[in-house]
Structure 1
Amino acid sequence: MRTAVPPQDPSAALSTGAVARRLGVSPTTVRSWERRYAIGPAHREDGRHRRWTPQDIARLELMCRLTAQGVPPAEAARTARAGAPGRPVRTAPAADPPAAPPPRTLLPAPGGGPGGVLPLGTVRPECRGLSRAAVRLDAPAVADRLEAALAEHGLVTAWEEVMAPALHAVGRKWATAGERYVEVEHLLSWHISGALHRIRPRPAPPRTPPVLLACLPGEQHTLPIEALTAALGERGVPTRMFGAAVPAEALHDAVRRTGPRAVVLWAQSRTTADRALARSVAGIEWGLRGARTHSALLLAGPGWDAGPAVPHAGRLLGLRSALELIAPPVPPPGGSAATGPGPGAYGF
C-alpha cells in the first residue's frame, strides 16, 4: 500500500525570481533550464506561478555546481534529477523556509579541482552573485546583477564594492590559470562597460571646459576611466573620453583642440606609464595668443606607483576620491564646501 505524500507547505516554496537571486543566475536561465531539461518544480497547481520547494532548489543548486565545473547542461540536469552519485539531494523540512546559502569566499569556476576557484575574499553578496554569473557565462544574469547593483547602491559603491572586486578576482585567476578564464574576463568587462555607458550624464552649464580622459599608448585597460567618465557625467561635468591606447600625437592634438580643465591619463602597468609623455602633456598651452593657459594633469592607475613623480601632476587614488578632487559637491546655500586635500593628494 502506497503512503500518501503530505503536501508541501506553501511558505517553504520560493518564486522563480527568488530562486534566481539565490543561485546568482537570471530568471530567464532558470525558466530555460526548466523548459529544456525538465528540472522545474516537481509540483505546480494549475493557474499558479511556479513555486520551488527546498528539494527543487537543491536540484538546481547541484546543476549550478556541475555547470560551473564545465559539465554540459543536459548531463548536469540528468545528474541533478537523480542526485549526485553516492550523495542524496539535500532536502530541507517542508515546514521551514529554505535557509540562505552561507557566504563563500571561493567561487567555483570552470574546470573544477583545487585550482578552479575565484578568490573573492570578503565581499558584498552582490559581488558573489555577479561573479557566479560571469563564471557560468550567464550574460542575462550578469546584466541583471549590474543593473540591480547600480540601482540599489549608486555608481561609486557599485564600482568599488561589486564590479571592481569581481574584475580583480577574474584577473588574478587569469594570470595564474593561463587562457582558461579569458572568456569570463571578456564577458564581464563587456557587460560592465555597457552598464557604465548606459548611465545618462546630467546636462552641464554652457561653455564649461571638459575633462579629457585617455589611456597612454599601448594601454588597453579602460574600465576604470570609463567608470570615472560616467561618474563625472552624473555630476554634470562634461567629459571627452578617448579610450584605449591613444597615440602621443593624437593626445597632444586632443588637448589643444578641446582646451580641457583637466587631463586624466590612465596607466595600468609600469611599461605604459610614459613619464616623458605625461610631462609633455602637462606643458601644452592652448587658447588665444596672450591669454594662453594649460590643463591640470592627473595621473591614474597603478602603473604610476613606481618611479619618479611627474612635476605639476596630481594623482588619483580611487573613484570616490577622484570625484572629490575633480568635481567636489556643491556647497549648500549659505554654506561653504569642506576643505579637502589639494592636487597631488590622491592616486587612482
Structure 2
Amino acid sequence: MPGDEQAGLPTGEVARRLGVSPVTLRSWERRYGIGPAHREQGRHRRWSAADIALLEAMCELTSQGLPPAEAARVAADRRACQDPSPARGEPPTGGGAKPSDLAGDETRLLVRGLVRAADRLDAPTLQESLADAVDLWGVEDAWEAVIAPTLRAAGRRWATVGEPYVEVEHFLSWHIAAELRRRAYPVARQGPVALLAAVPAEDHTLPLDALAAALTGRGIAFRMLGASVPPPALVHAMRRLGPAAVVLWSQTSATAMPGLAAAVPNRMFGVAGARRRPLLLLAGPGWRGVKVPDCAVLPQSLRAAVDCIGARAGLGVPSNGAVTTKA
C-alpha cells in the first residue's frame, strides 16, 4: 500500500474495498480472530496489507460456500504457512460462536430488527442484516435461530393485521430467498447428488432454498426443481440423475401426496447386481400425520436434513435424535 496506507487502513475503508459491511469485519474479529495483528493503544484499529490479504482469503472462501468458522481456520492456516511468526497474530480459537450462544433477548432483538426493516420496506438494511447473520453463523444456524423465527413473526403479524400486510411478507420472503440463492450454487457432480423438489401445488420453497445453500456449504451436489413439481417431471429427473437422496417439501397437509412419496423408493438405479434406491426425505410440516413409506426419513430441522444427506453421500454422519425414520 503506497503512501499513508502503509500505516494501515481504517475498518470502514477496508470494508468498502472488500464489499462487506464494517459490522461483518468486527464480527469476524470478535468471533474468529480475523483482525489487525498489531494495535496501538488509544487508537482506532488499522488494517495492514497482510491483515487485508487475510480478509480477502476469508471473503473468497465464504463466497465458495465454506461456513465462516471453517473459512477463518483455513485462511489463518494459509497465513501461518506464509509467515509463521507469532507477531502476525494467532489463528482463531473456539471455532466461532453460534446463535445459540446468544442470550434469548439478543436473538429476539435480531429478529425484531429484521421484522422492522421489512415493515419499513427498507431493502438495504434488511439485506445487509440477513447477509451479516449468514456470514457470522452459516446457513444452518442462521436459518434456525434468526431467519425462521423472523418468518414466523411476520406470519403472526400478517394473521393479526390481515391483507394490508401481504406486501411486507412478500418483501421479506423475496429478500430471504435472494440471500439464500446467492449462496446456493451448483457443486460439480463428482459423486452422489441430492434432488430437491416441492410437491405439486406447493409454492412455498424458502426451506428448499435454505437446504440448497446449506448443502453448498457442505460441498454436497444438489439439483433443484423448485415449486410445484409434477410427478412425471420428478420421475424423469430421477431417471436422469439416479440421485442418492430425494427431498420432497410440503408446507401443509393439503399439498402432501402420500402416493408420490410411496412411489419414490420403488425407483432403483445402477447396473444390474448393484442397484440401489434413493433415500427419501419428506421435509416440512405437511407430512405430519400423513401415512408415508416406512423407509422415509422425516427430518426435524434443516441441520438434520443436511446431516442425513451428507451421511448418504459419505460426507458426514446424521445427528443423533434429529431425524425420525418411519420404521
TM range (shorter): 0.5 to 0.7
Q: Does 1:259 align with 2:238?
A: no
Q: Does 1:191 align with 2:170?
A: no
Give yes or no for contact 1:202–1:234 (8 Å, CA) kept in 2: no
One-letter amino acid of the structure 2 residue matched with residue 137 of structure 1: L
Higher relative contact order, structure no. (Cα contacts within 8 Å, ≥ 6 residues apart): 2
Q: Does 1:209 align with 2:188?
A: no
Match 1:323 to one of 306, 309, 312: 306
Partner of 1:307: 290
Partner of 1:345: 324
Give yes or no for contact 1:325–1:343 (8 Å, CA) kept in 2: no
One-letter amino acid of the structure 2 residue matched with residue 166 of structure 1: T
Residues 145-194 of structure 1: per-residue CA shift (max 9 Å, x gap): 11111122221121111111111111222234331111111111111111
One-letter amino acid of the structure 2 residue matched with residue 133 of structure 1: A
Cα separation, 2, equivalents of 1:256 and 1:342: 32
Give yes or no for contact 2:198–2:226 (8 Å, CA) kept in 1: yes
One-letter amino acid of the structure 1 residue matched with residue 176 of structure 2: I
Give yes or no for contact 1:313–1:344 (8 Å, CA) kept in 2: no
Given the superposition, is the C-alpha separation of residues 176 and 156 from structure 1 closer, same or farther in structure 2, using an over 3 Å criterion?
same
Match 2:110 to one of 108, 126, 131: 126
Give yes or no for contact 2:195–2:223 (8 Å, CA) kept in 1: yes
What do you get for the CA RMSD once the two structures are aligned?
3.2
Cα separation, 1, equivalents of 2:227 and 2:184: 22
Match 1:147 to one of 131, 154, 173: 131
1:346 Cα deviation from its structure 2 partner: 6.5
Partner of 2:81: none
Cα separation, 1, equivalents of 2:313 and 2:208: 23
Residues 125-160 of structure 1: per-residue CA shift (max 9 Å, x gap): 221111110011111111111111112222112111
Partner of 1:107: none
Partner of 1:180: 164
1:121 Cα deviation from its structure 2 partner: 9.1
Between the two proteins, what is the percent identity of the paired residues? Answer: 47
Segments ≥4 residues shifted beyond 4 Å: 200-204, 328-332, 337-344
Cα separation, 2, equivalents of 1:266 and 1:325: 15
Given the superposition, is the C-alpha separation of residues 345 and 171 from structure 1 closer, same or farther in structure 2, using an over 3 Å criterion?
same
Unaligned runs of 5+ in 1: 1-16, 18-25, 28-119
Cα separation, 2, equivalents of 1:330 and 1:216: 23
TM-score, normalised via structure 1 length: 0.58
Given the superposition, is the C-alpha separation of residues 145 and 314 from structure 1 closer, same or farther in structure 2, using an over 3 Å criterion?
same
Which segment drifts farther, 307-316 or 239-248? 307-316
Unaligned runs of 5+ in 2: 1-11, 13-20, 23-103
Cα separation, 1, equivalents of 2:146 and 2:267: 38
Given the superposition, is the C-alpha separation of residues 121 and 342 from structure 1 closer, same or farther in structure 2, using an over 3 Å criterion?
closer
One-letter amino acid of the structure 1 residue matched with residue 151 of structure 2: L
Given the superposition, is the C-alpha separation of residues 274 and 256 from structure 1 closer, same or farther in structure 2, using an over 3 Å criterion?
same
Partner of 2:42: none
Cα separation, 1, equivalents of 2:129 and 2:149: 14
Total equivalences in the alignment: 226
Given the superposition, is the C-alpha separation of residues 169 and 122 from structure 1 closer, same or farther in structure 2, using an over 3 Å criterion?
farther
Q: Which has the larger radius of gyration?
A: 1
Give yes or no for contact 2:197–2:227 (8 Å, CA) kept in 1: yes
Cα separation, 2, equivalents of 1:328 and 1:209: 11
Cα separation, 1, equivalents of 2:258 and 2:160: 30
1:285 Cα deviation from its structure 2 partner: 1.9
Cα separation, 1, equivalents of 2:314 and 2:224: 27
Q: What is the correspondence of 1:56-71 to structure 2 with a 5 Å cutoff?
A: none
Cα separation, 2, equivalents of 1:291 and 1:207: 19
Q: Does 1:170 align with 2:149?
A: no
